[in-house]
Structures are given as C-alpha cells and as structure tokens.
Amino acid sequence: MAPDRIDPSRAIRVVHVITDLEPAGAEFMLARLVESFAGTSIESVVISLGTRGPVGERIASRGVPVFSLGMRPGRPNPYALWSLIRLIRRARPAIVQTWLYHADFAGLLGGALTRVPVIWNIRCAELDPADHPSSLTPLRHALALASRYPAAVICNSSAGQRAHEQIGYRPKRWAVIPNGFDTDAFRPQPAARSELRQELGLSAAVPLVGLLARFHPMKDQATFLNAAKQVITALPNVHIVTAGRGVDVAPSLREFVHGAGLADRVHLLPERNDSSRFLAALDVAVSSSYGEAFPNVVGEAMACGTPCVVTNVGDSAHIVGDTGVIVPPRDPSALAAGILDVLREDEAARAARGRAARARILSEFSLQQAAGRYEALYRDVTGQQVSAPDEFVCAE
C-alpha cells in the first residue's frame, strides 16, 4: 500500500524534465502525477526539451508552470541546454526528475551544474527500431555509464529494471513505481456497452472483443487479427474491434480483413478520445504486444471492469494477476484460445472476473498509490529537510 501523505507544511518543489509533451504513455503519466499533487506538499514545474504539445496544455491548464525549449530530435542545442539550466536555477527545486532518455541526459547535466539531486525515470523495457533512431543505442550505453550519479532511478516496471541492468545500469538506488490509474475516469459504465454497439451498427447482445492501441509493429495487431479469425470461426456471433492512431488506414490490416472475408465482423477504427467508454463496452480487452514495459491500456481496461487477455511481456502478467488470461506473445492460436476461454464463461463468471480486475487496480495500482510512492521517494532523497520553496513565477 502507498504511504500516507507526509506533513503538508513541508513542501518539496520538483522540476520535471521530459523529452516532449506530445500524447504518449510517459507524458500522460507525468500529467496525471502532477495533477494528483495539486493542493499537496509537492509543487511541480514541468520543462519540455521539445514541444509543449497537447499534454503540456493540459498540465498548464491545471495551474502548473510549463516551459518548452523547442529542441529538435537528434539536433543538440547548447542554447536550449543553457535555458534548461537557467530555468532550474530560477525554480530552486529540491529535486530534478527526468522522463525518457534525452531528458535523463540533459537533466543530469542541469542538476550537476545547479547542484540539485536528480532522479531518472525509465519508462520502457526494450527498444523497437520502428520507434527509435539508431543513435539512441549509444545514448543508452552512455547513460548506463552515468547511472551511478543520479540519486535514484525509477522504473515503472520490474521488466524495465531488468532490461537496463542487462545493459549496464548500476544506480545507487532502484525504485520500481508502477503507473497509477485514475479509477474515477476509468470505471464500469453500463451504458457504454449499448452505445458502442449502436455506433458499430450491432445489437446490444453481440459479444465484442477489442484491442486499443496505435498501429505499430510491437503492438502486433497482425497476431490479434489472426487470433480473431480463429475466434470468429469458433463463435460466429462475435465481433472484433481494434482502434488507435493509424489503425483505420493501415493497408496491411485492411488487406488482411478483406482477404480473410471478415469485413462484416472486424471493425478498424481510428484513434479515440473516449478510451474509458470504449474499454468499458468490451466483453474482453486484449493486449497482443510482443514488447511492453507497463501497458497502461491493460490497467485502464481492468479499472473499467473488463476482463483482459494479455501476452506475457513486460509486467503485463503482474498487472493482470489471476483476474485474466496470460498467453505467449506472437502466438495467434494461444491468444484465440485465451479469448475463447473468457467468452465461453457464463455471464455471472465473466462479471465476477471483471469485478476482480477492477478490485486489483484499486488495491495495487491506483493513481493515489503511485503519487504516494513518488512522494515517499522525494522525501527520502531530500531527507525531508526541505522548507517551503519561494514563489516561482511562470514567465518565459
């Protein structure tokens, strides 16, 4: 369980440095974290090395100072680094916390030059060439050599810690802090079931199996659709839906669906702005990835009370526990069998599985618990000897 909040009169200011603030998992987790600290003893300032982005706008709308330095990927900018150092000095934080590799590197330099303790925050377990330039591999090895200098290194998954130990990370202190979920935003929504089916032109009784993920090789929609074909063969009344950025226009997915004769059973949808409603409407939520650290969508689906079938990658099995089904990655037959196991349960058993899934998120992975673990680490790193910081004026 997360520790209780500690003496709110003894504030700690944390400057968060992140690579950019475009919509993605780490960026959303940063937003949720600083929002959860509103009105507590933790005061936040956010600096993006790149863009301010939609996530930056969201954070700023909550009254948190947000700065963007306009750096471009792969183009070092000494002026931007100097701006980072100036902002850290102005903020006079107790801690600089960095998110993602480029921010780890820049934040370590900034912390060293301003004499502020630095905490790194690792958000992945493995790299995929489709997402990351080749230059990131030497950067990770350089960070491994420098990993003894931060006060602590946070991972959002045990898989992430193991992967970074293998490439040479040797920090003074590891801290595994799983992502936390907003269980008010992600919750069971009885009306969602009929709403999504109506959107798809289906009756309210149709079983619906779904995957919510951007189109990307590592998310492995190909395995999901191959499994879906087997599910539909066994249970012809089932419909399949996969949604996410690029899914609806991906030629390979369209070709598979039409070539397999599944156009009337498989629905390819674009990115959605109602992920909680989408996940709450499903009978089974699937994660078919062959590489993950801590997949947020699994926890979000569970918080919605939706049973999950997930591949055994990253910390997926730990998140699901005994509330769902775990299968090997890149194995369509095993994935199909797992989905069918859940679909063939009677309604009461499936509902009980969904309740157990939500209860697991509430007990182990709530946003409040995650925030409490971050706060406890901040207190420990600073020795809890921090007085209330001076006012920090948000001015560029």
> What CATH number is associated with residue 377?
3.40.50.2000
110: containing domain: 12-180+366-382
C-alpha 318/C-alpha 159 separation (Å) is 10
C-alpha 180/C-alpha 373 separation (Å) is 10
pLDDT of residue 386: 45
C-alpha 242/C-alpha 269 separation (Å) is 6
Distances (CA, A) of 3 to 51, 370, 377: 34, 10, 10
The per-residue pLDDT string of the chain (396 residues; one tens digit each, 9 = 90 and over) reads: 333 333 444 589 999 999 999 888 899 999 999 999 998 989 999 999 999 999 999 999 999 999 999 887 666 678 888 999 999 999 999 999 999 999 999 999 999 999 999 999 998 876 554 555 556 778 888 999 999 999 999 999 998 999 999 999 999 999 999 999 999 999 999 999 999 999 999 999 999 999 999 999 999 999 999 999 999 999 999 999 999 999 999 999 999 999 999 999 999 999 998 999 999 999 999 999 998 888 999 999 999 999 999 999 989 999 999 999 999 999 999 999 999 999 999 999 999 999 999 999 999 999 999 999 999 999 999 986 544 455 555 544
Residue 378 maps to a domain:
yes
Residue 69 maps to a domain:
yes
- CA 300 to chain centroid, in Å, comes to 10
Nearest to 198, CA basis, from 247, 239, 252: 239
C-alpha 275/C-alpha 273 separation (Å) is 6
pLDDT of residue 196: 97
Does 201 lie in the same domain as 100?
no
Residue 4 CB neighbour total at 10 angstroms: 8
**Number of domains present in the structure of the chain:** 2
Does 377 lie in the same domain as 333?
no
Does 348 lie in the same domain as 242?
yes
Residue 146 CB neighbour total at 10 angstroms: 17
Does 222 lie in the same domain as 165?
no
Does 252 lie in the same domain as 135?
no
Residue 3 maps to a domain:
no
Does 197 lie in the same domain as 63?
no
Number of H helices, E strands in the chain: 15, 13
CB 10 within 8 A of CB 384: yes
Does 316 lie in the same domain as 202?
yes
pLDDT of residue 7: 41
Across-strand partners of 269?
A: 243
Does 137 lie in the same domain as 81?
yes
pLDDT of residue 389: 55
Nearest to 208, CA basis, from 342, 328, 304, 84: 342
Residue 61 maps to a domain:
yes
Residue 148 maps to a domain:
yes
Distances (CA, A) of 157 to 71, 123, 297, 357: 28, 8, 15, 19
pLDDT of residue 6: 36
Model pTM score: 0.84
CB 34 within 8 A of CB 66: no
Does 198 lie in the same domain as 161?
no
Does 176 lie in the same domain as 278?
no
pLDDT of residue 390: 59
Residue 335 maps to a domain:
yes
Residue 1 maps to a domain:
no
Does 166 lie in the same domain as 18?
yes
pLDDT of residue 396: 45
Distances (CA, A) of 156 to 122, 168, 269: 7, 18, 29
C-alpha 277/C-alpha 187 separation (Å) is 9
Does 352 lie in the same domain as 256?
yes
Residue 58 maps to a domain:
yes
Q: Which helix H or strand E contains 118, and what residues bound it?
A: strand 118-122
